[in-house]
Amino acid sequence: MRRLALVVLLVGACAAQGPLAPDTPRLVPVRVIRVVDGDTLQVDLDGRDVTIRLIGIDTPEVEGPFTERECFGRAASLYAHELLDGREVQLEFDVERVDPFDRTLAYVWLDGDLANERIVADGYAVVATFPPNVKYVDHFRAAERLARERSRGLWGRCR
């Protein structure tokens, strides 16, 4: 009964935030060239190869020259590949457009769904908020709570 009350509470919290929909006039259509890792992609934006960092989420790292492999990093990267590689998506920007590493910051819409949120909801990422880019943070937090409660993805496999 407590779980049902929690689910009802979380669903109510999401509904109170309003429906999740992109800011349609501001969507920029692009094609994903390749997924770099769970939260970074390369897209073709007006004929330019642009690196996109997904706003509001952080996936575990895959081993690289500057990082060590983290629990569920490989799985998060594979999930993002399956979800986004070669797909036509739309970018939505927030207040800041570029991060300190010169990556373009964006929300990624895929078939009417926010991919950033889906990655969190399925347990492949945690919420990582860096104001002022906080447009969908409440949705991301609700998705993370549910994923954690249901032991999805990294929540069921990593400490």
Is 11 a residue whose pLDDT tops 80? no
The pLDDT of residue 4: 36
Which amino acid makes up residue 17?
Answer: Q
Does residue 15 register a pLDDT over 90? no
Distance CA 156, CA 42 (A): 29
* Cα–Cα distance measured from residue 58 to residue 81, given in angstroms and rounded to the nearest whole number: 15
Give yes or no for residue 26 having a pLDDT over 90. Answer: no
When the pLDDT of each residue in the chain is averaged and rounded to a whole number, the result is: 87
Reply yes or no on whether the pLDDT at 8 is more than 50: no
Point out the catalytic residue in the list 26, 34, 87, 103: 103
Give the residue extent of every domain in the chain: 2-157
> What's the confidence (pLDDT) of residue 21?
78
Using the predicted structure, report yes or no on whether residue 3 has a pLDDT greater than 50: no
Beta bridge pairs of residue 30: 89
Q: Which residue in the list 53, 92, 144, 152 is annotated as catalytic?
A: 53
Which CATH number is associated with domain 2-157?
A: 2.40.50.90
Which range is least confidently modeled, 7-11, 90-94, 132-136, 139-143?
A: 7-11
For this structure, is 103 an active site residue? yes
Active-site hit among 61, 92, 117, 144: 61
Task: Clarify whether 150 is annotated catalytic.
Answer: no
Establish whether the linkage from the previous residue to 132 is cis, with ω within 30° of 0.
Answer: yes
* Span 63-101, pLDDT tens digits: 666 666 788 999 999 999 999 999 999 999 999 999 999
pLDDT at 122 over 50: yes
**Residue 53 a catalytic site member:** yes
Separation between Cα atoms, residue 7 and residue 27, nearest integer Å: 32
